[in-house]
Amino acid sequence: MLATTPAEIHAGALQQAEQETPAAEHPVETPTLQANQPQSADDEALEFDSSFLVGQSAAVDLSRYARGNPTPPGTYTVNIYLNDQMLLSTPVSFIANGTPNSTPCLTSELLRQLGVDSSQWQESVEGEDEEEVAKRCVDIKKFVPEAKIKYDSNEQRLDIGLPQIYIVKQPQGYVDPSRWETGINAAMLSYNANVYRSSNDGDVSESAYAGLNYGINLGAWRFRAKGSLNWDQDDGTDYDSQEMFVQRDITALKAQLVLGDSYTDGTTFDSLNLHGLRLYSDDRMHPSSLNGYAPIVRGVANTNAKVTVRQNGSIISQTTVPPGAFEITDLNPTGYGSDLDVTVEEADGSKRTFSVPFSSVVQLMRPGQSRWEFDVGQLSTDSLSTKPNVAQGTWYYGLNNTFTGYIGLQATDDSYYAGLLGVAVNTSLGALALDVTQSSAEIPNDKTRKGQSYRVSYSKLLEATDTSLSVAAYRYSTADYLSLNDVAQMIDDRKHQDNQDKSFNDYKRLRNQVQLSVSQPLGSDENSYGSVYVTGSWQNYWDESRATKQYSAGYSNSFKWGSYSISMQRSYDEDLKKDDSLYVNISIPLVNLLGGGGGEQHHPAFDTLNIGMNSDLKGSSQTNATANGSTEDDSFSYGVNASYDVAKEAENTRQVGGYGTYNSAYGPVSASASFTNDNGRQFSLANSGGVVVHSGGVTFAPGSIGETDSIALINAPGATGAKTTNGDGRIDGRGYAISTSLSPYRENNVGLDISTLEADVEVQSTQATTVPRAGSVVKVEFATNQGRSLLLNLQRNDKGFIPLGATVFDTNGNEVGSVGQAGRAFVRGTQDSGTLKVVWGNTVDQRCMARYAVGGSAQSVGMTQVIDHVMCQVSH
């Protein structure tokens, strides 16, 4: 029997013995310690009194532990902390210095990456170049006697302490460009696939969609392509290519270079699909990076519906949503300045469409900062037969805290010119941006058209009432103002016989456009009464087309057992056809009702209940109820729904349906189905995921990989089942996992959760820091020891004690473990049977030989097998 419980073994000897085993990751030949290199780390020396080790038959030499666990020479991947701030995870060479603890080699290059001003510490030797000097070890204490250097081999943590005067002052969030990682060569594919089938009264509709992002990284260059593969029963299959280009960083300019088909930024002028060259500043490379913007698409589905979002005629998103209100928040538009067209296709085949305005909001720049873009190439628009050559440039500059000026120029080889001049102002009354664009166009068989377009943007948060007010854009254009896209279409039409008679006034040209958004929380700090919002958009045209309008308002609040919301929407199309909608939703978390109170709560089969009612205010309405749930580990989510539709001029319809989503290693897999009392049917199947091909094989991502995402390829050999701490990745059987959505040019902490390990393996470090470039695939390696682990209860044949701290070696002389309390030895890297040597001193009688064999009935503590009563033979 064991002398102690398994829990005591695990908490005591197992933990202590395992931590006492240092792990050299890459033992290498290291240079000898030079006179100008530090002689030791700053760990305080400790003295051990062996008399406290009761019952020891001989003195135990613990001097090698006087400065912590011994660190032999070699190269280790360590986490470097500067003044208690984690900055870098990188391999560091440790150099022999004549003591058990070798010295970390801190080079000038490494210190610069840490933000240390070590320029005056470099001692060059005649004939050495700058690169050799940068890679030579620096004796910090020679120049800064109060400096502190300490290495903890258990945590693989290297602490450096320096007075603040030696730290280079940088803006918050600054990362030295030398730390930006290009990553490895790899190919990748990301997809979002959806198959949809509906039938109603014998009319069957079938379609399939796959949104694709794919590319290859070779050195600093990144090839990317984006498109959608579409199929339906009537038109068959077609592929819509949206972008295809190669890209790379231009570090010196803090910019991106793009060659190929891509969309220009639409902050200044309308977004263009350009085949050519683009060079633009990348705000993410600066500490004060700017976040991109994309609108949230909101709507209401009456059934399990297919929602398709298009921009510039291309599908950028397609998904299936359950009945009720929905939000699509993860759109990846192709550029700013083009509205989003949304189609909601219900299970019965009916469709509704609406437009979501997507106009740019001019942003203020910090003083002295600039943002610019230069584009040259051919306009690549599918509707054009003759495609003009285009050149354009924009520049924003922060003049001071109050004013930002910006300009833009645009021209084509068809004699079109446009110039923009604007200013953004930061005032106590809000942020305001004003600009004017002058255009001049020579239209064949027409006069030269010159006009102006005026735009104003405004936003303000009224702190006193917490009111958010935003006029996203008000634009007025004169009758002869033409955008580049307008002119390209007009000239193209004039060059073709069929359209030569089309007059200037036959083209739809925007006259006025207003977009307004106001949100207001109600109540005070002590009492909340919910919040309200109002949004609206209105625009008309010079060709006497009728104005289009859309208004919406809503209110939301919560109560003791849940929350509710009320929203109203009204829209007019160009034929002045009115479409009204009133929607009421109640959401009740069932865990509040079914989870029980106090003690261990019961996990209910369904987590939430949503009840929604929608009416067009013309006699038709829908009422639906949906119950949603998930398993305790969130690996599977599901829901069931029922609805009742009242139609003004048709038969009422009842429907039941459901959906399920499984978060697999290959991305979430979803299915939905619904049935109506009039024999209507709907089925869908969806999957989104990604795959990366690299030198180590093929690794699947647990979700989609964004077009410009930086991702980490984690390598932890043998650590099958360990989860990534950011994302839902798991180490596969080959030792790899994908961690997505890293922030480019920023420090990203990448880690492993070893509580889900499926194998007996030691992960020597579970945290690392990486700074990827945009679109890069960075490889993050975690050192592991895959050898079998054993816990041996040793007994000496002469009835003596085996001292605490004794070292265990295998027959090849490799250190495989150490002895903890009561003769318990934790070893790793052993065979099923063999002989081990235990050493606790320098004389023959201070060692013993232990033979062991793993039996089929051996007990286990976790994945570590325990062998009891192992006799250790002492030589006298």
| DSSP code string of 610-673 | EEEEEE-SSS-EEEEEEEEEE-TTSSEEEEEEEEEEE-SSS--EEEEEEEEEEEETTEEEEEEE
How would residue 362 be classed by pLDDT, with cut points 50, 70 and 90? low
Number of domains in the chain: 3
How would residue 852 be classed by pLDDT, with cut points 50, 70 and 90? very high
Average pLDDT over residues 411-434: 88
Domain-located, residue 81: yes
What is the overall mean pLDDT for the chain? 81
Separation between Cα atoms, residue 710 and residue 595, nearest integer Å:
40
Q: Give 66's DSSP letter.
A: B
Per-residue pLDDT tens digits for 128-184: 666 677 778 888 888 888 888 888 877 788 999 888 888 887 766 788 898 899 999
How high is the pLDDT of residue 70?
Answer: 66
CATH number at residue 817: 2.60.40.2070
How high is the pLDDT of residue 250?
Answer: 96
Q: Which residues of 387-396 are buried (b: 16+ CB within 10 A; e: fewer)?
A: bbebebbbbb
Q: Give 167's DSSP letter.
A: B
How high is the pLDDT of residue 66?
Answer: 53
Most confident by average pLDDT, 28-37, 567-576, 668-677: 668-677
Average pLDDT over residues 275-301: 76
Average pLDDT over residues 491-503: 74
Domain-located, residue 97: yes
The domain boundary, picked from 147, 169, 191, lies at 169
How high is the pLDDT of residue 18?
Answer: 37
The domain boundary, picked from 335, 356, 377, lies at 356
Beta-ladder partners of 609: 588, 627
Domain-located, residue 738: no
Separation between Cα atoms, residue 604 and residue 677, nearest integer Å:
30
Domain-located, residue 856: yes
Residue 857 vs residue 634, higher pLDDT = 634
**Among 468-477, 550-559, 810-819, where is mean pLDDT lowest?**
468-477
Domain-located, residue 410: no
> The tokens of 730 are what?
């798991």
Average pLDDT over residues 502-513: 85
How would residue 60 be classed by pLDDT, with cut points 50, 70 and 90? low
Per-residue pLDDT tens digits for 641-654: 999 888 877 778 88
Beta-ladder partners of 447: none
Domain-located, residue 495: no
Amino acid at 25: E
Specify the pTM.
Answer: 0.74
**Among 9-23, 197-211, 490-504, 681-695, where is mean pLDDT lowest?**
9-23
The domain boundary, picked from 319, 340, 356, lies at 356
pLDDT surpasses 90 at 873:
yes
Domain-located, residue 99: yes
Domain-located, residue 102: yes
Question: Which structural domain, as residue segments, surrounds residue 834?
Answer: 788-874
pLDDT surpasses 60 at 61:
no
Check if the beta carbon of residue 323 is closer than 8 Å to that of residue 653. Answer: no
Query: In what helix (H) or strand (E) does residue 791 lie, and over which residues does it extend?
Result: strand 788-796
| DSSP code string of 171-195 | -TT---GGG-B----EEEEEEEEEE
How high is the pLDDT of residue 522?
Answer: 86
Q: Which residues contact 753 (CB under 8 A, 6 or more apart)?
A: 722, 723, 724, 725, 766
| DSSP code string of 418-483 | EEEEEEEEEETTEEEEEEEEEEEEE-TTSPEEEEEEEEEEEEEEETTTTEEEEEEEEEEE-TT---
pLDDT surpasses 90 at 217:
yes
**Nearest Cα to 469, choosing from 424, 512, 414, 429?**
429
CATH number at residue 79: 3.10.20.410
How high is the pLDDT of residue 838?
Answer: 93
Per-residue pLDDT tens digits for 218-237: 999 999 999 999 998 888 89
